[in-house]
Structure 1
Amino acid sequence: MSTIVENTIAVRRVSTALFTCVLAALAGLMFGLDIGVISGATQFIQKEFAISDRMIEWIVSAMMLGAAVGALGAGWISAALGRKRSLILGGVLFVLGSLLSGAAWSPDTLVAARLILGLAIGVATFTAPLYLAEVAPEYIRGAMISLYQLMITIGILVAFLSDTAFSYSGNWRWMLGIIAVPGILFLLGLFMLPDSPRWLMMRGRKEEAAGVLHRLRGDREQVAREVSDIEEQLRTPQKGWHLFLQNANFRRSVGLGVLLQVMQQFTGMNVVMYYAPRIFRDMGYATSAQMWFTAIVGLTNVLATFIAIGLVDRWGRKPILYTGFAVMALGMGAVGTMMHLGVATHGEQIFTVAMLLTFIVGFAMSAGPLIWTLCSEVQPLKGRDFGIGCSTFTNWVANMIVGATFLTLLNGIGNAATFWLYAVFNLIFLMITFALVPETKGVTLEQIERNLMAGKSLRDIGQ
């Protein structure tokens, strides 16, 4: 009987840990919903308010500006309020931004609503992976962080499907406002989360931290070991800004992280995420087909993410990035060529769509997840928070630039030249990967740090 009771308690604790992690990972779902939802709404917003492509660019990119600001303050917020309360703040902003988007009475109101959503994303994208890393049991930590990335792609797909459903009525307000519903459910669930044990330890609340760990782990020896490990880690304080000023080798790793994020954004992936219906319209498709093909883009993005999860620890980082950038250059180049020649027949339309989906596969299997992995791996322990913060901020700024310039490029240099430009970017990124990016497969973070601080070239710090 006692064995049955013990097993029941163990299963309950595992379930509690999984529930906690999955609920936190749903922040990624909210993030994906907000990325994807604007794509299908822009053409109806533009028609109702009779606004220019430039104003549409501002509406789209305002969210990235808010995310950049939110990311800048997220480290301080998560330290001061705690991971749980930071996620709750993000949840409140998600709901407010969604409701205001649906009720917007002017383009300026939409810009303001998107800024609020961006603030939510900036806070959540910093805090959720951090919280997951701090509460997940060791044996599922990698899976839970990967789940967060997968949730983002699922959120984008769900947003595309929702947009497709509402496109038949043209009701963009429902497109933007409906995501307040999962936002409210997510917010209510957050109140059930425990505080992060690491944050509690940072605040000197050791007994509370041990209590949370006991609820999540159950094994007293494991709890004692984790408490001891956290205490040991906290003896290594973050000195990012000081290290950045004093150490040229750290500046190299920060610079590499920044460059990697610029590379990720200028592949052109978010051009497709934000403006897919417009791209399909220029291929000659009617509104309903535009929306369904946009949903297929989202599905392709989800499925191809599993390629990266399956190959990253077998192939290594660089071979996957080489493959991804080459595939993306091919896809973008082919789309540009077809736009130049003219997409007249049904066969030409299908081929052009297929090449765009090929580009999506290239991104989702490589630069999408792996850039984030590399950005965390190349930063030394004492400056990791600062380095990742710099690269995350860069990601959102570059994202905003891409979102705010695509329609201007289409109107200025034409469809074909715009896609060729992104194809050239991907070829350049392939060469940068060869010259600067290290292979970190199977190498400990400590070894990478030792090589970096010893002055080895960036491409060799994983050896």
Structure 2
Amino acid sequence: MGKVIKRIRVVLCLVEKVGVADDDAIEQVQHEKSSSLTNIILCEQWQEQTQTYESQVGEKALYSKQLVQPKYCPFILGTLESMTGMLLGLDMSTISGANLFMPQYLHLDTKQFSLVSSGAALGAIPGAILLTPINEWIGRKYTLIVCCLIFTVGAILEAAAHSYGTMIAGRLLVGVGIGLSSTAPVCVSESVKKEIRGKLVVLFQFNITVGEVIGYVVAAIFVNVPGNWRFMLGSSLLWSSLLLLFILFLPESPWWLMKKGRKAQSFLVWKRIRSFENLESITEFFEMEKAVLEERKLAQARPFYWLDIIRVPRSARAFIVANVLAGIVQLDGINSVVYYIGVLFKELGFSAEKSVYMSLVGGGSLMAGTIPAILLLDKWGRRMVGIGPSIVVFLGCIIIGCSFLAKNTKTYEGVYIWGLITYELFSGSFQSLPWLNFAEVYPTYLKSVGMTIADAFIYLWAFTVTYNFTGMRHAMTNTGLFVGFYGGISLFGVIFLVLFLPELKGKTLEEVDVIFSQPMSEIARANLRSSINTLKKLFTGRWKEIVQTDSQVLDN
């Protein structure tokens, strides 16, 4: 802390010695001088508080030295916490493989088969609803531990099932664990700086796709083993057990510790994962302390303050954007395709064994498509990474739908696989957007509630499309489902993103408030201008300008 104060004093001395030639320069120097003086005052106040915290932690401060430097720690923590996303991916791919064999063994009819396939998504709804109360009660770390425990019990029931009832019980428990796994993006967003927030939050989606690929590999390994579907479904408990061991060694969220009044412990965790060696980290810690105190006062004054999410116009606009986005990314059919991909390949004429192997193509495409989102979200921005892939997802729906019209089997297979790869490859980036959007659009005191509602909506729509997949195919035909319904939702998604998804890359909370304090018509007008300017740059060859930082502050 003392080093930071010294650096500010040096800057202040340099500012006082600057020779100025005009009024603008004078004004700039005076502004810098004023800011430096303010920073010195704040730093001296914070230094006193820091010393108080150091004395409170006592002997624990001796162990604040760590093997991993703070500049690497957020990446390691973010990676380990986000690995809970693998549980969702594993469930999607292992049930896809098991669906080729398990329904015949358990003698499932069409409705039972649909409910077993969508059971995890159904269980994830109450899991997501319980997210906020459990998070506030036992903390982020122990919520992730509970998530792994519940998932493990569910996987055991699935693998041991000899009846429809036992299988449904296992599927629902697995779903509850999946719903609670959404704690990871909350925990990551509370602990890292905004410059890397995007890529670390999106790691959750990337780990979903990694889990899918691992699940397809496991399904391929056991496809010719007697009782294959039991091994496929039971394999996921190995991963949940390993994740449980990893999570035991992770620190609790400093934000949650601060909310529980354990300030010294919050300080110690922050020191380990972010350090107190630079002004930015120091400022963020004490701003967090201030925000927590304000939230506590608000909760005491207004017990139902969370109703602000629909009552206050600024929050209501964020609510609309977050939850419409949650609907779009599920109603475009991605979960139903992943859950039933093995069945779809079998209908193409592939054997059960080859269907499992071909499922790896779809899973690998989805994982590969997520990588650009991790690399580019904090560089190109949310709109660029969202709008472009959403257009190609729409085209992928059209290609898949048209493949069913082919008369020649080889043509049918070739066009279908082409459409599937296109669809899943670009869905990878598009599907990354919601988790980050949920963490960014709400004011601090409503973030937890907002993310809980958005997560519940995601799983509600996932259950809806997965459960009704077979019925919709019969009612609408395969072409009608993919072109008419999934394609129509995807096209609506493109229009919605162009008009109503604001650019939040690198934005402070105050800047996000400015954006959502404007009417939706103003947001749409500003976004439309931005899109038109981007298209002009694209067609005139000014590609470098497209990826430059765009402030996206709405004009009055």
TM-score normalized with structure 2 length: 0.75
Q: Which amino acid aligns with 1:389?
A: T
Residue in 2 aligned with 1:112?
169
The amino acid that maps onto 2:439 is S
C-alpha displacement of 1:100: 0.9
**Per-residue displacement from partner, 1:64-88 (whole Å, max 9, x unpaired)?**
1211101111111011111111111
Structure 2 CA distance, aligned partners of 1:299 and 1:129?
Answer: 23
Q: In the superposition, relative to structure 1, how do residues 312 and 224 fare at CA in structure 2: closer, same or farther (>3 Å)? A: closer
Which 5+ residue runs of structure 2 have no aligned equivalent? 1-64, 528-551
What amino acid maps onto 1:300 in structure 2?
S
| Counterpart in the other structure of 2:117 | 60
Q: Does 1:201 align with 2:258?
A: yes
Match of 1:147 among 203, 206, 211: 203
Cα distance in 1, alignment partners of residues 489 and 69 from structure 2: 49
Is 1:350 matched up with 2:419?
A: no
Shift of 1:437: 3.0
1:266 aligns with 2:331: yes
How do residues 38-53 of structure 1 correspond to structure 2 at under 5 angstroms?
38-53=95-110
Equivalent pairs counted in the alignment come to 452
After superposition, the CA RMSD in angstroms is: 2.5
Alignment correspondent of 2:436 = 373
Where does structure 1 lack aligned partners over 5 or more consecutive residues?
A: 1-8
Q: Tell me, yes or no, if structure 1 residue 29 matches structure 2 residue 93.
A: no
CA distance 1:450–1:20, shift in 2 (3 Å): closer
Which residue does 1:93 correspond to in 2?
Answer: 150
Q: Higher mean Cα deviation, 290-299 or 369-378?
A: 369-378
Give 1:415 shift. 1.9
Q: Does residue 305 of structure 1 match 2:370? A: yes
TM-score by length of 1: 0.89
Partner of 1:416: 479
1:172 aligns with 2:241: no
What are the superposed Cα offsets for residues 417-463 of structure 1, whole Å, 9 maximum, x if unpaired?
A: 22222122212222233343334445544223123224353424853
Measured after TM superposition, the shift of residue 262 of structure 1 is 0.7
Change (3 A) 1:412 1:143: closer
- Name 1:130's counterpart in structure 2: 186
Whether 1:431 and 2:495 are equivalent positions in the alignment is yes
Query: Is the deviation greater in 25-34 or in 223-232?
Result: 223-232
Is it true that 1:363 corresponds to 2:430 in the alignment?
Answer: no
1:456–1:424 distance in 2 versus 1, CA, 3 Å: closer
Pairing 1:254–2:319 present = yes
SS in 1 for 2:213: helix
Amino acid at match of 2:172: L
Q: Which amino acid aligns with 2:510?
A: E
Question: Distance between the aligned counterparts of 1:252 and 1:205, measured in 2?
Answer: 34
Aligned counterpart in structure 1 of residue 131 of structure 2, from 63, 70, 74: 74
1:275 is aligned to 2:333: no
Tell me how far apart the structure 1 counterparts of residues 201 and 421 of structure 2 sit (CA, whole Å).
26
Query: Which residue is 1:231 aligned to?
Result: 289
Q: Percent identity between the aligned chains?
A: 26
State the partner residue of 1:394.
457
- Which residue matches 2:349? 284
1:77 and 1:86 in contact (8 A); partners too: yes
Match of 1:449 in 2: 513
Query: For the residues of structure 1 that align with 2:316 and 2:99, how far apart are their CA atoms?
Result: 40
The Cα shift of 1:18 comes to 5.2
Match of 2:54 in 1: none
How many angstroms does 1:216 deviate by? 3.3
Larger mean CA deviation between 399-408 and 288-297 belongs to: 288-297
Call closer, same or farther: CA 1:185–1:437 in 2, change over 3 Å: closer
**Partner SS for 1:365:** helix
Q: Which residue of 1 aligns with 2:401?
A: 336
Higher-Rg structure is: 2
- Per-residue CA deviations over 1:151-203 (Å, capped at 9, x if unaligned) read 11101110111112111236101100111112112212222222222212111
Determine the structure 2 residue equivalent to 1:4: none
